[in-house]
């Protein structure tokens, strides 16, 4: 069945005094996802720009519609990440500015590559997000337990929409190129580029906190890396198969419940997940 990609108000009222260490149970996890957030205001507009370039080569009206919806979702995501990153910077980590400058420059450089390389990067990155979606939604009760409801809800809703538009970047690549070798390189390129900057953000914050060279910090990093390999690794390997198609990956249960129940009473106001609830049900 054809999936409907819905444009929703994607807006969370982050409090001005938002604590960048929003998950006191697992500060390494919080710092890692803050690092991921640093890349988003550059990555997500890049995905939209690349799709706009590809649009001129595509005739299929359904795919053109999917691109429009995909770009609408990614554009809203990046605006929210931008607001979050300002708060992270202001509330403790001005050193993120230097990392963001490097990220901005790297996306400028990437924008000069050929269209197939750029689309393969997009498709590769989007494949990796499916592993993150399964991990974050499936283990939400452990990962976000008693964490800041704004950031937790923000990440969980972001992952919902990533699952919803999971086929688009792949379909655009297949419509414009389809070469296996370039796509396989894109899986490495799109995944490790974003992960690399995310880790750079995390390490800078841990260093600032004096957490980096402590036993707790090192064990936290080891546990995070292990979780990423365990949860994202299978999606990464699957994407390298010549017959890979993202529509074959199963959606998490929480995703289906969330999408079916949407919209909440007031679709402009995003309801927050109750992170103190042991089951963390959908918030509407
Ligand atoms: Fe996104
Ligand atoms: Fe996406």
Write out pLDDT tens, residues 127-145: 999 999 999 999 999 999 9
Average pLDDT over residues 98-106: 98
Average pLDDT over residues 4-15: 91
pLDDT at position 40 over 80: yes
State the pLDDT at residue 104: 98
Question: pTM for the complete prediction?
Answer: 0.96
* Rounded CA separation 143/133 (Å): 12
CA of 126 to the centre of ligand 2 (A): 5
Nearest to 139 by CA among 218, 224, 82, 219: 224
* Rounded CA separation 174/171 (Å): 5
CA of 214 to the centre of ligand 1 (A): 33
Virtual torsion, Cα 79, 85, 91, 96, nearest 10 deg: -160
Which tokens sit at 183?
Answer: 């796509």
* Closest ligand (CA of 123): 2
In our burial notation (b when 16+ CB lie closer than 10 A, e otherwise), range 176-200 reads: bbeeeebbbebbebbbebbbebbbb
CA of 47 to the centre of ligand 1 (A): 9
Confidence class for position 1, pLDDT limits 50, 70, 90: low
Taking all residues of the chain, what is their mean pLDDT, rounded to a whole number? Answer: 96
Q: Are 194 and 128 a contacting pair, CB within 8 Å? A: yes
CA of 169 to the centre of ligand 2 (A): 8
* Closest ligand (CA of 128): 2
CA of 95 to the centre of ligand 1 (A): 24
pLDDT at position 90 over 70: yes
Complete domains list, the chain, with CATH: 27-261 (1.10.620)
Average pLDDT over residues 152-161: 97
Confidence class for position 2, pLDDT limits 50, 70, 90: confident
Report the chain's C-alpha Rg in angstroms.
18
CA of 254 to the centre of ligand 2 (A): 18
CA of 30 to the centre of ligand 2 (A): 20
* Closest ligand (CA of 74): 1
CA of 25 to the centre of ligand 1 (A): 26
- Residues above pLDDT 70, as percent of the chain: 100
* Closest ligand (CA of 168): 2
State the pLDDT at residue 271: 85
- Each residue of 181-233: pLDDT tens digit? 999 999 999 999 999 999 999 999 999 999 999 999 999 999 999 999 999 99
Output the CA–CA distances (angstroms, integers) from residue 256 to 133, 139, 248, in the order listed. Answer: 12, 16, 15
Average pLDDT over residues 82-102: 98
């Amino acid at each position: 069945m054809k999936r409907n990609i819905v444009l929703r108000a994607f807006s969370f009222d982050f409090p001005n005094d938002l604590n960048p260490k929003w998950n006191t149970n697992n500060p390494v996890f919080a710092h890692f996802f803050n690092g991921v957030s640093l890349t988003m205001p550059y990555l997500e507009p890049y995905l939209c720009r690349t799709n706009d370039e590809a649009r001129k080569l595509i005739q299929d009206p359904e795919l053109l519609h999917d691109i429009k919806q995909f770009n609408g979702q990614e554009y809203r995501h990046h605006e929210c990440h931008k607001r979050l990153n300002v708060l992270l910077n202001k509330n403790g980590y001005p050193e993120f500015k230097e990392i963001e400058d490097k990220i901005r420059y790297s996306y400028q450089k990437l924008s000069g590559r050929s269209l197939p390389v750029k689309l393969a990067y997009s498709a590769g990155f989007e494949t990796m997000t499916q592993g993150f979606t399964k991990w974050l939604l499936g283990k939400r009760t452990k990962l976000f337990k008693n964490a800041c409801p704004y950031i937790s809800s923000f990440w969980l809703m972001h992952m919902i929409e990533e699952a919803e538009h999971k086929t688009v970047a792949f379909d655009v690549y297949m419509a414009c190129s389809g070469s296996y070798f370039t796509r396989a390189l894109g899986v490495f390129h799109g995944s490790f580029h974003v992960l690399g900057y995310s880790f750079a953000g995390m390490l800078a914050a841990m260093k600032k906190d004096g957490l980096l060279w402590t036993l707790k910090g090192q064990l936290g990093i080891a546990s995070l890396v292990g979780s990423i390999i365990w949860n994202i690794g299978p999606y990464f390997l699957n994407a390298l198969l010549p017959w890979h198609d993202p529509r074959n990956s199963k959606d998490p249960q929480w995703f289906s419940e969330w999408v079916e129940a949407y919209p909440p009473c007031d679709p402009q106001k995003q309801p927050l997940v109750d992170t103190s609830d042991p089951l963390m049900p959908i918030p509407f």
